Amino acid sequence: MTTNRVAEETTTAQYRPRGRANRVLLSAVGILLAVVWIFPVYWMINSAMLPNVVLQSRTPTFAPFGGSFDNFASVIQGGTFLPALGMSVVIAIIVVGCCLLFAFLAALAISRFRFRGRKAFVLAILFIQMLPAEGLFIAQYKLMSSVHLLNTVLGVSIIYIAAVVPFTIWMLRGFVAGIPADLEEAAMVDGLSRTQAFMRITFPLLAPGLVASGVYAFLQAWNEFTVALVVLQDNADQTLPLWLRGFIQASASRAIDWGQVMAASTLVAVPVIIFFLFVQGRMTSGLVSGAVKG
């Protein structure tokens, strides 16, 4: 209960602040928060610019003065980054696309309909997420081997979709349930076609939910490690997390070049950032908030 209390009090003080002083204070808190959250990211990029020798130093080097892009260059010249990037992008697109579509349909079913087996389904998709994934790899391998999908993008994608879709359904279900069903009808009374009504009324209301679950699906597909490890046997076709982990463990007979590891990590993060920048606009765009609030 203590935690709730904290939330409550801070909220009462902060929600829709009145005075100028309050606003300034809140902005300061916001900036401080941003700095704390961004620091590890900054540290990754900073380290990526520095040579390995400097990174082992006892005094932290806070800014990459005298740093270079050498680490990035040698990582990319390694030749394995681009194929892995391609693989990860394809898988992410398949997973996000299928997940959103499947989950949207399922979310409609469970939030707009009452039917036999509904509760069972809702519970099943909830509980299925509670199974720890660490012990599943043998079964996943056997499954993929028996249907001849080992070493294929499709094999990896199928497992990812199954792992992510329960969550996406739950997330979207909340959003679909939050949209008054009458809204579209009202729009149609105003002369819009059903398609127009959906695109102009329902879809914008759903957009934040789609974006949030899409982002989640994307990140899961982007970061997942174990399934990719067992399904993709050859390090030559691998996804980015495998590629990155390979960087850290490349050699038993050589020290790890942490500068290059950080450069590699940064390269893995960049596509996510691009993806986020792309959807971020949608999440907070005036159109969406306008539609919701107007």
Partner 1 sequence: MKRKLASVTAVALASALALAGCSGTSTDTGSGASTDGKGKTITLWLVGSDTPDTLRTYLKDEFKKETGGTLDIQQQDWGNIVTKLTTALPDPNNTPDVTEMGNTQSPTFTNVGAFLDITDLYSSLGGSDLLQSFVDAGKVGDKNYTLPYYFGSRYVFMRKDIWSQAGVAVPTTLTEFNSAVATIAQKNPAGISNFSGFYLGGQDWRDGISWIFANGGDIAKQQNGKWVGSLEDAGSLKGLEQLQAIYKSASSAPNDAKDSNQYIYLNDDDAIPGATTADASTPVSLSAATIMAPGWAHWSIGTKGTADGKVTRTWDDKTFGVFALPGNDGKPAPVFAGGSNIGISAKSKNPGLSKTLLKIIFSKTYQEMLGKAGLGPANSKYTSSLGTDEFAKALIESASNSKLTPAAPGWASVESSGVLEEFFSKIKDATDLKALAKEYDAKLTPLLNAK
Partner 2 sequence: MRPSSHDYHYSKGGDVTAQATETRTHTLPDLIEPVRRRRRRLTPYYLLIPSAVILVIAMGYPLVWQLVTSMQQFGLSQQFGQPAPFVWFANYVKLAADPYMWTVIGRSILFCFVTAAATMVVGILVALLMNAVNRSVKIVIQIAMMLAWAMPVVAAMTVWNWLFDWRRGVVNWVLTTLGLPFQDHNWLANPLSFYFVAMIIVVWMSVPFVAFSVFAGLTQVSDEVLEAAQMDGASPRQRFWNIIVPIIRPVLAIVLLLQVIWDLRVFTQIKLLQDAGSIASQTNLLGTYIYQLGTGSSDFGTASAVSIFVLVLTVAISAFYVRSMLKEDA
* Cα–Cα dist 173/104, whole Å: 8
Q: Is 190 in the site for partner 2 (CB under 8 A)?
A: no
Residues within window 269-288 making contact with partner 2, judged by CB under 8 A:
269, 272-273, 276-277, 280, 283-284, 288
- Cα end-to-end distance, the chain, whole Å: 35
Site string for partner 1, 145-164 (x = CB under 8 A): x----xx-------------
Residues 64-123 that bind partner 2 (CB under 8 A): 98, 101-103, 105-106, 108-116, 118-119, 121-123
Neighbours of 163 (CB within 10 A): 21
Asked if residue 125 lies in contact with residue 170, where contact means CB atoms within 8 angstroms, the answer is yes
Q: Does 43 bind partner 1 (CB under 8 A)?
A: no
Collapsing DSSP to helix, strand or coil, 225 comes out as coil
Min dist CB 37 to partner 1, Å, is 25
Side-chain half-sphere exposure of 27, counting CA atoms within 13 A: 6
- The one-letter code for the residue type at 132 is P
> Cα angle at 110 between 109 and 112, to 5 degrees?
70
Identify which range of 54-62, 64-72, 73-81, 231-239 contacts partner 2 by CB under 8 A: 54-62
Residue 29 binding partner 2, by CB under 8 A? yes
The one among 86, 208, 246, 271 contacting partner 1 by CB under 8 A: 246
Find the shortest distance in angstroms from Cβ 62 to partner 1: 12
277 binding partner 1? (CB under 8 A): no
Please name the residues in contact with 288: beta carbons below 8 A apart, sequence gap of 6 or more: 204, 207, 208, 282
Q: Name which position in 2, 12, 59, 195 contacts partner 1 (CB under 8 A).
A: 59
**Number of residues located near partner 1, criterion CB under 8 A:** 33
Q: How many residues bind partner 2, per CB under 8 A? A: 132
Pick one of 44, 54, 192, 279: the residue that binds partner 1 (CB under 8 A).
54
> From CA 30, how far away is CA 23, in angstroms rounded?
10
- Tokens matching residue 261: 């590891």
Distance CA 215, CA 170 (A): 14
Residue type present at position 238: Q
* 203 counts as binding partner 1 under rule CB under 8 A: no
- Do 242 and 84 form a contact (C-beta atoms < 8 A)? yes
Which stretches of the chain bind partner 1, using CB under 8 A? 51, 53-54, 56-59, 68, 70, 137-138, 141, 145, 150-151, 226, 229-230, 233-236, 242, 245-246, 248-255
